[in-house]
């Protein structure tokens, strides 16, 4: 009976051990400690039972005990493997946490560096603004209240002019562009009759009106039209017959029709240039006229190409050009001055070049130049106008004008060859633009 009880206990212990093993595989590491305690307990029980019943044991009991011992060894080996896997997982977690800490540290350092750079830039901008403020305060301290008001008014006027120009460009009137300018400038000098250094009083006046009408639909054709009227006179000291003489007198009309050939730089061009005076101008101390009303009339047309390398530059080359000079008065006017050798007309074909350039290096400085050259391969005519306006404010400006000219066919009486002609003007006065 005792032997039977021992066998039942051994079988029950084996079943419990196998059940504990399955539980370890399903639930994992959390049941390992419980399993190890059970194994030790049952092993001790088996040992005590074996010692107590050593005499009554038989071969079957020995086999059962050996099987239980082997099963315990396998469970112990499995526990060791599970512990090794657990240690590996813990080590991997430690490495991953260390990498995460390293990456977080690098990101933190990067954010700190970006913040320092941003602070440095803001400090530099603050120093610049402080320097500007100090400079503005110094300028303000050196200027009087009246000067400040004048500067403010000038700035407001310039801003209004810019606003009007901007609105005109935005809204405009379709493809048409219109602009006109006018100026009246003068110079005056008074000398009393008893002035110890001598001299004479003088007065000169100069007026100019110029207008432009342009058609540009931003497609393949453009049409530019320019008209200019200029008059000038001054008191004359060397002329005993007249107290006042004309110094400038002409009306100019110029029209250019362009057809686009390539992009916005090369065009086929047809241009017409017309010029004539309105009033009489005299040679000093004579009744001989230099020019008369509509004498001479100059007319030029050309057919060629127009090259525009930049916005305010135009180079027109006309391999086919025509020049006409007509003198209405052939009795009182010296026709040789205009290149007319016989009759009252000069008519010839040739080639011409015309360069127009407008440049504004500063807001207060505006330079405009027109260069024209014509040749019929026997004679040469060169005309170059250089005009520079210095803007004082919206209504006051000064002008410097240089005008060299050469015409190989214009040989005056008493000369054997043509000579260079030159005119210069310096004036200040009223000027205004109209849109």
pLDDT tens by residue, 183-198: 998 877 777 777 766 7
Which residues on adjacent β-strands are paired with residue 357?
A: 313, 369
What's the distance, Cα to Cα, between the start and end of the chain in Å? 132
Token pair of 3 as six digits: 């032997």
C-alpha span between 30 and 23 (Å, rounded) = 10
Average of per-residue pLDDT across 103-124: 81
Nearest by Cα to 221 from 185, 180, 270:
270
Residue keyed to tokens 């512990």: 83
Instruction: State the pLDDT at residue 410.
Output: 80
C-alpha span between 300 and 271 (Å, rounded) = 8
Token pair of 261 as six digits: 């050939």
- Greater confidence (359 vs 135) lies with 359
Instruction: State the pLDDT at residue 367.
Output: 95
Angle ∠(356,357,360) on CA atoms, nearest 5? 155
Which residues on adjacent β-strands are paired with residue 212?
A: 179, 226
Residue keyed to tokens 């009339």: 297
Q: What is the CA radius of gyration of the chain?
A: 54
Helix (H, G, I), strand (E, B), or coil: what is residue 380? strand
Which residues on adjacent β-strands are paired with residue 206?
A: 185, 232
User: Which range has highest mean pLDDT (17-26, 171-180, 285-294)?
Assistant: 285-294
Beta carbons of 214 and 226 less than 8 angstroms apart: no
Instruction: State the pLDDT at residue 147.
Output: 65
pLDDT band at 167 (very low <50, low <70, confident <90, very high): low
Instruction: State the pLDDT at residue 18.
Output: 45
Angle ∠(95,98,103) on CA atoms, nearest 5? 125
pLDDT band at 170 (very low <50, low <70, confident <90, very high): low
pLDDT, tens digit, 9 for 90 and up, residues 78-109? 767 767 767 777 777 676 777 777 787 888 88
C-alpha span between 278 and 248 (Å, rounded) = 10
Nearest by Cα to 3 from 61, 62, 65:
61
Token pair of 160 as six digits: 């209004």
- Greater confidence (227 vs 332) lies with 227
Instruction: State the pLDDT at residue 53.
Output: 47
The answer to whether the predicted template modeling score (pTM) of the entire model surpasses 0.75 is no
DSSP E strand boundaries for 168-312: 176-189, 202-216, 221-235, 244-262, 266-276, 281-282, 289-291, 297-307
Beta carbons of 425 and 189 less than 8 angstroms apart: no
Helix (H, G, I), strand (E, B), or coil: what is residue 349? strand
pLDDT, tens digit, 9 for 90 and up, residues 300-317? 999 999 999 988 899 999
Give percent of the chain above pLDDT 70: 74
User: Which range has highest mean pLDDT (209-218, 301-310, 340-349, 404-413)?
Assistant: 301-310
pLDDT band at 4 (very low <50, low <70, confident <90, very high): low
Beta carbons of 365 and 356 less than 8 angstroms apart: no
The pLDDT of residue 247 is above 90: no
Q: How many residues does the chain have?
A: 435
The number of C-alpha atoms within 13 Å of 312 and in the hemisphere containing its C-beta is 10
Question: H or E element: which one contains 352?
Answer: strand 345-362
Mean pLDDT estimate for the chain: 78
Instruction: State the pLDDT at residue 369.
Output: 96
C-alpha span between 254 and 299 (Å, rounded) = 10
Domain limits of the chain? 2-107, 173-434
The pLDDT of residue 352 is above 60: yes
Burial class (CB within 10 angstroms; exposed 0-12, middle 13-18, buried 19+) of 311: exposed
Indicate the fold that domain 173-434 takes in CATH.
Outer membrane phospholipase (ompla); Chain C (2.40.230)
Question: H or E element: which one contains 321?
Answer: strand 313-326
C-alpha span between 239 and 283 (Å, rounded) = 9
- Greater confidence (434 vs 348) lies with 348
Instruction: State the pLDDT at residue 128.
Output: 81
Q: In terms of DSSP bridges, do strands 266-276 and 297-307 run parallel, antiparallel, or are they unpaired?
A: antiparallel
C-alpha span between 310 and 315 (Å, rounded) = 10
User: Which range has highest mean pLDDT (43-52, 123-132, 234-243, 300-309)?
Assistant: 300-309
The pLDDT of residue 222 is above 70: yes
C-alpha span between 335 and 345 (Å, rounded) = 9
pLDDT, tens digit, 9 for 90 and up, residues 203-212? 888 899 999 9
């Amino acid at each position: 009976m005792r032997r039977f009880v021992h066998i039942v206990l051994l079988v029950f212990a084996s079943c419990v051990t196998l059940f504990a093993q399955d539980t370890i595989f399903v639930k994992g590491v959390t049941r390992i400690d419980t399993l190890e305690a059970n194994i030790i307990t049952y092993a001790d029980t088996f040992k005590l039972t074996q010692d107590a019943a050593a005499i009554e044991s038989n071969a079957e009991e020995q086999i059962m005990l050996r099987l239980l011992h082997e099963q315990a060894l396998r469970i112990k080996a499995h526990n060791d493997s599970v512990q090794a896997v657990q240690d590996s997982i813990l080590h991997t977690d430690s490495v991953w946490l260390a990498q995460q800490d390293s990456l977080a540290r690098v990101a933190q350092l990067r954010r700190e560096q970006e913040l320092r750079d941003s602070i440095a830039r803001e400090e530099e901008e603050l120093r610049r603004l402080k320097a500007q403020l100090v400079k503005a305060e110094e300028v303000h301290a050196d200027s009087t209240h009246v000067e400040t008001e004048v500067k403010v008014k000038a700035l407001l006027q310039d801003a209004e002019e810019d606003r009007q120009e901007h609105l005109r460009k935005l809204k405009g009137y379709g493809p048409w562009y219109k602009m006109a300018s006018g100026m009246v400038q003068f110079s005056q000098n008074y000398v009393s009759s008893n002035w110890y250094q001598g001299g004479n009083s003088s007065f000169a006046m100069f007026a100019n009106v110029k207008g432009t009408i342009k058609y540009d639909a931003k497609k393949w054709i453009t049409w530019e039209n320019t008209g200019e009227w200029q008059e000038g006179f001054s008191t004359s000291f060397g002329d005993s017959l007249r107290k006042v003489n004309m110094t400038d007198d002409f009306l100019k009309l110029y029209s250019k029709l362009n057809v686009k050939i390539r992009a916005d730089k090369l065009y086929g061009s047809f241009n017409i240039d017309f010029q004539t005076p309105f009033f009489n101008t005299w040679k000093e101390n004579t009744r001989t006229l230099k020019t008369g009303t509509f004498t001479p009339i100059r007319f030029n047309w050309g057919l060629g190409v127009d090259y525009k390398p930049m916005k305010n530059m135009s180079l027109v080359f006309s391999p086919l050009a025509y020049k006409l000079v007509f003198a209405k008065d052939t009795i009182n006017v010296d026709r040789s001055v205009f290149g007319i050798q016989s009759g009252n007309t000069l008519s010839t074909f040739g080639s011409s070049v015309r360069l127009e350039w407008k440049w504004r290096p500063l807001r207060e400085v505006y330079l405009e130049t027109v260069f024209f050259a014509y040749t019929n391969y026997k004679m040469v005519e060169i005309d170059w106008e250089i005009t520079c306006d210095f803007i004082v404010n919206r209504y006051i400006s000064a002008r410097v004008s240089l005008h060299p000219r050469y015409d190989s066919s214009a040989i005056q009486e008493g000369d054997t060859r043509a000579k260079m002609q030159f005119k210069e003007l310096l004036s200040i006065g009223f000027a205004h633009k109209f849109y």
